[in-house]
Amino acid sequence: MSKRHPNPRLAKIHRNYSVEEIATLYGVHKNTVRNWVKDGMPTNDDRRPMLILGRDLFAFLQAKRVKNKRPCQPGEIYCVRCRTTQKPAGAMAEYQPLTGTSGNLVGICPSCESMMYRRVNLAMLALVGTGLDVTLVQALPHIDESTQPCVNSDFN
Ligand SMILES: [Zn+2]
């Protein structure tokens, strides 16, 4: 987990880091750090060895974090267990109405096979379900209101 989501606060903003030092600090491969540079992390440009200012490292990882918390894209549902948005297995989902105008888009996570739920307005279903084979089902009397909707949903 810490490797996929490096903690920006490990960087001390008043010092410089070499690629090797950053790799050690975050427990990642040097190539990962080089990819961060390719992704736009500022360096001391033409000097060798390459050095990265702590505050640039901090800002870059902070921005990366925000980017990782992107909202669900059309055709994706947030998997609570994987903590990421996923296209449901088989690109199949069910729309389970909760009210006349909204419901849950339900799919199966392709990574961990958990059920994934995304709260969606019926009016937005065509957009949210882009690229998915969405089956409309009738409201079930036992629908559990505590099921986790997509916490990142940007369409509500
Ligand atoms: Zn999952």
pLDDT digits (tens, 9 = 90+) for 1-56: 445 678 888 888 889 999 999 999 999 999 999 999 998 899 987 677 889 999 99
pTM here is: 0.48
Distance 17 CA to ligand 1 centre (A): 35
Tell me how far the alpha carbon of residue 98 lies from the centroid of ligand 1, in angstroms. Answer: 23
Return the closest-CA partner of residue 133 out of 96, 107, 98.
107
Domain ranges of the chain: 8-68, 77-136
pLDDT in tens, 132-142: 999 998 755 55
> Is residue 16 within 8 Å of residue 57, measured between CB atoms?
no
Find the 51 Cα to ligand 1 centroid distance in Å: 38
Which candidate, 22, 27, 60, 17, places its Cα nearest to that of 41? Answer: 60
Take residue 137 and report the two structure tokens written for it. 């089902």
d(CA 140, CA 146): 14
- Asked if the 8-68 domain carries CATH number 1.10.1200, the reply is no
